[in-house]
Structure 1
């Protein structure tokens, strides 16, 4: 991803430089997250993944932790960092004339970068739950 404006590099969203498959991405992210107790705690807290002012049941929250919403854009960062939108990525590429799998007007094709990154996030969270079954003190 090229920087549009001169300035500090956005390390969390700059391209990784090679096209990892799904297992490779899960392993890479899992290694990075599991090395940081704060990251593990936030990845396993559902409040990190939703709007900061919402409770898990969707109502206005009375108490909002400071980390609420900190991972809302993790999927976008993963798509950018691992080059999932690149036309030459063999794991997510599809031609313009190819039919994408759709259900009720929603793209459900496994190759679509949004779906791919969502699967990676779900797999990383599942692995973290296995590695850290007890709450992590951070």
Structure 2
């Protein structure tokens, strides 16, 4: 379990500075949205680096737009490290699993070619990230960037 928590912490933290994220095992049970939000927050709060990075806007900027030529001073080394946090959450919490009772990837609502169904794993994980970021901002309103 400690190894699994370490892998998730590394994934959440986004350590790697441009390297592909390591594959992460599945959590092992299907939590609902509130359960996943609580679990992610608890894991982040245990990791000082992860906490700083989740609170730092630089962590969320897409890496291809981070050219040092465009920024003075240049972006920090960890810039863009959480761009794919949604994917890690989807995989770790089994949101794509067909038997997950909280998500649905097949029979979903689509409007004008866009999947709008809140049960779709992409939309589900997006809400989780948004809720975690909002809750962390409330808990740490004066946090220092990583």
TM-score range, shorter chain: 0.7 to 0.9
Q: Deviations over 1:104-135 (max 9, x none)?
A: 31101101000000000000001001100102
The C-alpha deviation readout for 1:82-105, integer Å capped at 9, x for no partner, is 0000000000035x4x3x222331
Partner Cα separation in structure 2 for residue 85 and residue 49 of structure 1 = 23
Q: Which residue of 1 aligns with 2:55?
A: 44
Q: Which residue of 2 aligns with 1:4?
A: none
Distance 1:137 1:61 in 2: 17
- Structure 2 gap ranges (5+): 9-23
Q: Which residue number in structure 2 is paired with residue 85 of structure 1?
A: 96
TM-score, L = length of structure 1:
0.79
Q: Which structure has the larger Rg?
A: 1
**Equivalent runs, 1:1-138 vs 2, <5 Å:** 11-12=7-8, 13-54=24-65, 60-62=70-72, 63-93=74-104, 96=106, 98=107, 100-136=108-144
Residue segments in structure 1 that go unaligned for 5+ positions in a row? 1-8
CA distance in 2, matches of 1:11, 1:137: 23
CA RMSD of aligned residues (A): 2.3
Residues paired across the two proteins, number: 124
In 2, the alpha carbon distance for the partners of 1:71 and 1:43 equals 8
| Greater than 6 Å deviation, 4+ residue runs | none
TM-score by length of 2: 0.75
